[in-house]
Amino acid sequence: MLRVVLCDPLGSVLFSYIEHGELVTNGDSNIEGIGIKRITDNFNGAPVDDALQVDDRSAIEMAYWLLREEGLFVGGSAALNVVGAARYARTLRASSTVVTILCDGGERYRSKIWNRAWLEENDCLPRAAGLEFL
């Protein structure tokens, strides 16, 4: 069975829209390029089965883990998707297949998630040695 799961940052309304049919925000995100507070025409009516939220710290931890362990230099959106995919996978049978999209590279994020001063200022300096943030 195929299921489409939306991974949404805190501060976006898409999670609450999928889960409760309401445009309500919860929390906030400082990562560029993700999160929205309205339903766009290209999303309206999309066949989404489930949704989950990912905080900035988890997305940033994943971005640094992916670079360190897999050599993948991704942006915040891709890292958020990987966190969501990994967390959702934990709810499925062991034989399940999970697919996600690495939708952006890290180059566009050099001023934020790949900038130590920004990370310190936003209390998001990566600390995880492994995947304990999942």
Q: Identify whether 126 is part of a domain.
A: no
**Confidence check: pLDDT of 22 > 80:** yes
What is residue 11's predicted lDDT score, i.e. its pLDDT? 87
CB 11 within 8 A of CB 26: yes
Q: Identify whether 131 is part of a domain.
A: no
Domain interval for residue 65: 5-121
Give the integer Cα–Cα distance in Å for 61 and 81: 12
What is residue 43's predicted lDDT score, i.e. its pLDDT? 87
What's the alpha-carbon Rg for the chain, to the nearest Å?
Answer: 15
CB 123 within 8 A of CB 116: no
Q: Identify whether 25 is part of a domain.
A: yes
Q: Identify whether 129 is part of a domain.
A: no
Total number of domains in the chain: 1
Question: What is the pTM for the complete model shown?
Answer: 0.92
pLDDT in tens, 61-120: 999 999 999 999 999 999 999 999 999 999 999 999 999 999 999 999 999 999 999 999
Q: What is the CATH number of the domain that holds 93?
A: 3.40.50.1100
Q: Identify whether 55 is part of a domain.
A: yes
CB 5 within 8 A of CB 90: no
Q: Identify whether 42 is part of a domain.
A: yes
Computed over every residue of the chain, the mean pLDDT equals 93
Tokens of 98: 């999970």
Expressed in angstroms, the distance from the first to the final Cα of the chain is 24
